[in-house]
Amino acid sequence: MEAGREAVRKELENVQRKMASVEDECQKKNRENLTALEQQVRVEQQAAEQRRHLETALEAARAQLADMRVELEAAHGRVEALETQLTKTEALRRDVELKLSSVVSTLRRTVGIFHGDSVVDKTRSRSASPRKGQRSVNITKKTSGLFPGGRIFYVLKVFRARSYILEYITN
């Protein structure tokens, strides 16, 4: 009996050691699982935080996109208005060129201005007769109402101004 007790006690000690070992293993596994669970909770919190941040950024991007669309529509409106204005300006430029051309043509016929800004005195190109000299005076008298002091150089200035105006309008 004593030998049976001794065997049971040894077996009980072995079982208690195994149980202590298993309990230690369970506690160790439990701590590892808790650590892994805490880590997983932190990862999920970070993911949720990142998701909120990305949603905020997405909303900001959508708002910016909407603003840019409004700006783009406004820019298209300005482009159309500028194109309309350009068309009108080009029509006005052609009209002004036509009128200036008519004025220059009239000045050439009236005063004798030819291409190249030169003035031809018709009395010098022919023989000097009283009638032609009289005609030259009549032209000056006719033009004196058109140009202050009846000065021919004023006509030249007008002609040159027309060239500058046409150059300015075409640019």
Chain-centroid distance of CA 152 in Å reads 50
Crossing angle of the two packed helices 2-111 and 130-144, in degrees rounded to 10: 140
Positive or negative CA dihedral for 86, 88, 91, 96?
negative
Q: Per-residue pLDDT tens for 128-146?
A: 444 444 444 444 444 444 4
- pLDDT surpasses 90 at 91: yes
Q: Per-residue pLDDT tens for 103-136?
A: 888 877 777 655 444 444 444 444 444 444 444 4
Q: What pTM does this model have?
A: 0.42
Q: Per-residue pLDDT tens for 29-85?
A: 999 999 999 999 999 999 999 999 999 999 999 999 999 999 999 999 999 999 999
Tell me the C-alpha to C-alpha distance, in Å, between residue 10 and each of 3, 18, 94: 11, 12, 122
Question: Cβ contacts of residue 110 below 8 Å, gap of 6+?
Answer: 139, 142, 143, 146
Q: ∠ CA(116), CA(122), CA(128), 5° rounding?
A: 150
Question: In the chain, which residue ranges form alpha helices assigned H by DSSP?
Answer: 2-111, 122-125, 130-144, 152-170
